[in-house]
Amino acid sequence: MKIKLKFPNPGLENRIATHGELEKMEVEEAGDRPKWDNKAQYLLTCVGFCVGLGNVWRFPYLCQSHGGGAFMIPFLILLVLEGIPLLHLEFAIGQRLRKGSVGVWRSINPYLTGVGIASLLTSFLVGVYYNTIMAWIMWYLFNSFQDPLPWSQCPLDQNRTGLVEECARSTTVDYFWYRETLNTSTRIDESGGLQWWVVLCLVAAWTLLYVCCIRGIETSGKAVYITSTLPYLVLTIFLIRGLTLKGSVDGIKFLFTPDVNELMNPSTWLDAGAQVFYSFSLAFGGLISFSSYNSIHNNCEQDAVLISIINGCTSVYSATVIYSIIGFRATQKFDECIGDNILKLMNAFNLPEGNVTDSNYKDILSQYNQTNPDIIAGLDMVQCDLQKLLTEGVEGTGLAFIVFTEAIINMPISPLWAVLFFVMLFCLGLSTMFGSIEGVVVPLVDLGVLPKKWPKEAVCGLTCLVSFLLGLLFALRSGNYWLALFDTFAGSIPLLVIGLCEMIAVIYIYGIDRFNRDIEFMIGHKPNIFWQATWRVISPLIMVVILVFYLVTQVTKELTYLVWDEDSASFPVLEPTPYPSFVYAIIFILAGIPSLAVPAFAIYKFFQRRFCKRRDYSSDTVKSISGKL
C-alpha cells in the first residue's frame, strides 16, 4: 500500500492553468508579455542577482573564521543539498505558474499569500540598506579619482602643527571610514543629523537604479551585460596583480589550508548553511519573477545547476583574490613590525646600519636576549606573527572599506586600483538590486494595493522614492549602527522561514506528483532521485535545523553592536556595546513582522471566509505578469 503525504487543497485545478492552456497562453501573450531577449540575458540576470557583495566580503570572512579550507567542505556539501534544490524549485514553480512571488503562492492556495507578502517585505527592507552600501561605494569611487588617495594620509589639526589626534591614534583608512565618510556617533541612539555627502550619494544610487529598472527586465536586462560580467574581469585583473605582490601566496595558502578541527564545530556548519542560503538570493521573490518570463519549455533544471556552479565557483574565486591581497597586507604589516624591532635593537646596542637584517634578526635577537636580557626586556619589542596578522578578520563593510583600501594605498598607481575595485563592487551591488526591486514591484502589482492604471514606471518610481526616504536613516551619524542591525536581522530569520514555507507549499500542498508532471511537461523528463530526496526530506530538514540553531544562538547571547569611540580605553579597537531596550522593538519589526506575515495572512483569510460574505474563491488568483502592468 502506497501512502502519500499531501495536505488537502480544494479548488487548485481552478486556480492554475492546464498544460494545454499554458501552450496557448504562451502564443497569445507573445506580443505583450515581457520576456528575455535570449537565454544569456536571463542567465546573466540570475547570476547578477545571486552573486553579490556577500560573495566578495562575507564568504572570505567566514573562511577566515572557520579554519580556511575547512569551511569550504560544509559549504560545498550544503550547496548541493540545500541551495541547488531550492533554487530549482523556485525556477520551476515560477516558470510553471508564470506569476510573481505573491501570484505563485496565492495560486497554489489563497492561505499561502502571506509567503509572497513576506518575500515582498524582506526584499524591501534588504533593498533599503543594501543600496546605502551602494551609496558608500559611490562615495569612495568619487574619492578615488585623486592622487594621493584621501585615505592614504592623516589630515593636519586646526593649528596645522600636527596630525589630527583621532587619526594619529588609529590608522588613515580607519579615520577616513569612520570620520570622513560616516562621521559616526558613539551610540546608536545619538543620531547626529544627516550627512549631506551621504544623502547626495543616496540620491545618485537610487536614481541610477530607477533608470536601470524603469521598465523592468526590458531595461535591467540590457544593463546586466555589463554589471554581471565586469566584476569577473576586475577580479581576474586583481588576481594577476595580487600574485605579483609580496606575501600574496602566503594569504592564498592560509585560505586553502584546512583546520580539520573546525569540521567538528557546529557553528561552522550553521554558518555554511546560512551562507549557501543567502548567497543564492533565495526567498526574495526575484528569482521566481525572473523565471516566469521564460518560455514554458525552458530547461529550468539545467539553469539551476549551472547558476549554482557559477555561484559556488565565484565565492571560491573571489576569496582567492581577496586573500592574495590580504596576504600582501599582512606581509606589509609583518615587515613593518620587524623593521621597528630592528630599529629598537640597533639604537639600544649602537649597532651600525645594515648590521641587522630581516634574515639574521631572529639570531641576533636570541643572542642579545641571552647576554643582555634586562635591556631586551626594556625595549618593549612587539611579537611579530604573520599567521596572527592573516587571521585578523574584518567582516562585511570593514573588509572593503578598511582592509582592502589599506592594501590599495601600498600598491603602485593606487588610484587606478581603487577605481577598479569600487567599480567592481558597484556592479556587483547594482545587479543584485535589480532582483530586489523586481521582488517588490511585481508583488505590489499582484496584490492590487496600487491603482491598476498606474504604469510600471510609476510603481517602480514610488518604490525607489519610499526606499530612499527610509534609507535616510542610514545617512545619520548613527547610520552605520542601524545598517548593521538591518543586515543582521532583516535578511536572516525571514528568509529561512520563507524558504521552508516554499518547500512545504510546493511538495506537500501543491503536490510532489503534480510538480513532477509539470517538470516533465516543461523539460521532457521527470526529476531524478536526487531532486525527490532533497525536496521531500533533506532540504526542509536542513532549513529547520539552521532556523532552530539560529534562534537559539540569538536568544541566548547578549545583543551588542561595535562602536567607534575615541574616548574608549580600547581605542582604536571597536567597543562592543549593548543595544538600548527600544532596539528590540525594531528587531521585531525587521525579523518578526515578515516571518509572521505567513501565519497572519492565513488567519485573516480563514476569518474572512468564515464570517464574511461568501463568494466564489475559485478565481482567487492573479493574472500572469504582463507588460501592461
Pairwise CA distance, residues 99 & 78, whole Å: 29
State yes or no: pLDDT of 530 exceeds 80: yes
Q: What percent of the chain has pLDDT above 70? A: 95
Pairwise CA distance, residues 158 & 385, whole Å: 38
Beta-carbon neighbour count of residue 614 at 10 Å? 8
Highest mean pLDDT among 148-157, 368-377, 613-622: 148-157
Section 478-482 average pLDDT: 94
Average pLDDT, the chain: 88
Q: How confident is the model at residue 137 (pLDDT cuts 50, 70, 90)?
A: very high
Pairwise CA distance, residues 475 & 133, whole Å: 11
**CA quadruple 171, 177, 182, 188: dihedral sign:** negative
Q: How confident is the model at residue 29 (pLDDT cuts 50, 70, 90)?
A: low
Question: DSSP code of 490?
Answer: T
Section 85-90 average pLDDT: 96
Per-residue pLDDT tens for 108-118?
A: 999 999 999 99
State yes or no: pLDDT of 526 exceeds 60: yes
Section 53-62 average pLDDT: 84
Section 241-246 average pLDDT: 91
Q: What percent of the chain has pLDDT above 90? A: 54
59-73, 122-136, 171-185, 219-233: the lowest-pLDDT one: 59-73
Decide if 206 contacts 131 (C-beta within 8 A): yes
Grid cell, residue 584, equals 528590540
Q: How confident is the model at residue 628 (pLDDT cuts 50, 70, 90)?
A: very low
Report which residue type is found at 24: K
DSSP string, 49-112: HHS-HHHHHHHHHHHHHTTTHHHHHHHHHHIIIIIHHHHHHHHHHHHHHT--HHHHHHHH-GGG
Measure Cα distances from 383 to 246, 337, 340, 347, 389 in Å. Answer: 21, 8, 11, 18, 11
Q: How confident is the model at residue 627 (pLDDT cuts 50, 70, 90)?
A: very low
Per-residue pLDDT tens for 341-377?
A: 888 888 888 888 777 777 787 888 888 778 887 777 7
State yes or no: pLDDT of 625 exceeds 60: no
Report which residue type is found at 468: F
Section 409-414 average pLDDT: 89
Question: Exposed, middle or buried: residue 125 (CB in 10 Å: 0-12, 13-18, 19+)?
Answer: buried
